[in-house]
Amino acid sequence: MSSEIIGLTQWLDTPPGQCLLAWERAQFEQALADVFGYHALQLGLPQLAALRSNRMPHQWLAVGGDLASVEGLDGAGLTDQDARAVVWPAALQLHSAALPFASGSLDLVVLPHTLELSDDPHATLREVERVLLPEGRVVISGLNPASLWGLRQRRGRWLRSLGRGQLFLPEQGHFIGYWRLRDWLRLLDFEVESARFGVYRPALSSARWLERFAWMERMGARWWPILGAVYFVVAVKRVRGMRLIEPAWRQSRRRSAAPATATRQQGHGPGVD
């Protein structure tokens, strides 16, 4: 792989990038199909079309600033399937740490590789927590440094420091470990609902060789599940001390369904004065 490929957008056009996108696309379609609400936001990476399977009526794609390039909106770098799917009602150019949404106004925020590309991932995650409604969801995907791909990336950095090496993954961004991400989410009162890993095959640049090692996906998911090249996390915003108020019709139905209790009155028995 050429050392000139340093950006995520360009790297996604390579065989390993396409392999990664295929796995992530399947995860987003499965996880977001049954997430209900009214307002959903995808921050960055328009090549992925992460909200395609979601049915919320108001969806936005945010690009610009420290996020992905807007070039993907016209279909550049997209597969034919995603090029047909990317019909965004609204595209915004903004910075991920300063979202133009009111506090508690969004039901879903999707972050495909957004934190690792952000200038300040802490601020980005805090801003996501601010704009999400209670019980709203954030869905995050990122490259896993504790993987075969992450190991080759570290080796490439070391060799390049000696003047004789190439990077396998994009140079831009700082990859965030899975457990570190969980700590960040916990500090912001997010509860991890589900987490999974994928892409266990070796760090290879050839599409032919990547396909030959496809059998490692089944083996990796069984024997070394947390060492996949990419992780996928779904977290729910919890608000401490909050109790959801049920609709009146649901409370009345619950009262009507409750069993009646009979009481026995105390009194004098027959023949007793």
Instruction: Kindly state whether residue 236 falls inside one of the protein's structural domains.
Output: yes
The pair of structure tokens assigned to 249 is 């019709």
- DSSP of the chain, one letter per residue? --TT--SHHHHTTSHHHHHHHHHHHHHHHHHHTT---SEEEEES-TTS-TTTT---SEEEEEESTTS--GGGGGTTT--HHHHHH---SEEEE-BTTB-SS-TT-EEEEEEESHHHHSS-HHHHHHHHHHHEEEEEEEEEEEE-SSSHHHHHHHHHHHHHHTT----SS-SSS----HHHHHHHHHHTTEEEEEEEEE--S---S-HHHHHHTTTHHHHHHHH-GGG-SEEEEEEEE--TT--PPPPHHHHHHHHHHSPP-------PPTT--
pLDDT digits (tens, 9 = 90+) for 232-273: 999 999 987 656 565 666 566 666 655 555 555 555 454 444
pLDDT band at 94 (very low <50, low <70, confident <90, very high): low
pLDDT of residue 79: 44
Instruction: Kindly state whether residue 141 falls inside one of the protein's structural domains.
Output: yes
Instruction: Kindly state whether residue 171 falls inside one of the protein's structural domains.
Output: yes
Give the mean pLDDT of 126-130. 94
Residue range(s) defining the domain that contains residue 27: 8-241
Lowest mean pLDDT among 39-43, 141-145, 150-154, 182-186: 150-154
Structural domains of the chain, count:
1
What is the domain-level CATH number for residue 67?
3.40.50.150
Instruction: Kindly state whether residue 110 falls inside one of the protein's structural domains.
Output: yes
Query: What is the β-pairing status of strands 90-93 and 106-112?
Result: unpaired
pTM of the model: 0.76
Instruction: Kindly state whether residue 3 falls inside one of the protein's structural domains.
Output: no
Query: What is the β-pairing status of strands 190-198 and 230-237?
Result: antiparallel
pLDDT of residue 255: 62
Range with top average pLDDT, 4-8, 176-180, 245-249: 176-180
Q: Is the pLDDT of residue 179 over 60?
A: yes
pLDDT digits (tens, 9 = 90+) for 38-80: 999 999 888 888 999 999 999 988 875 444 333 333 333 344 4
Instruction: Kindly state whether residue 271 falls inside one of the protein's structural domains.
Output: no
pLDDT of residue 73: 35
The pair of structure tokens assigned to 2 is 């050429």
pLDDT of residue 152: 87
Instruction: Kindly state whether residue 121 falls inside one of the protein's structural domains.
Output: yes
Instruction: Kindly state whether residue 172 falls inside one of the protein's structural domains.
Output: yes
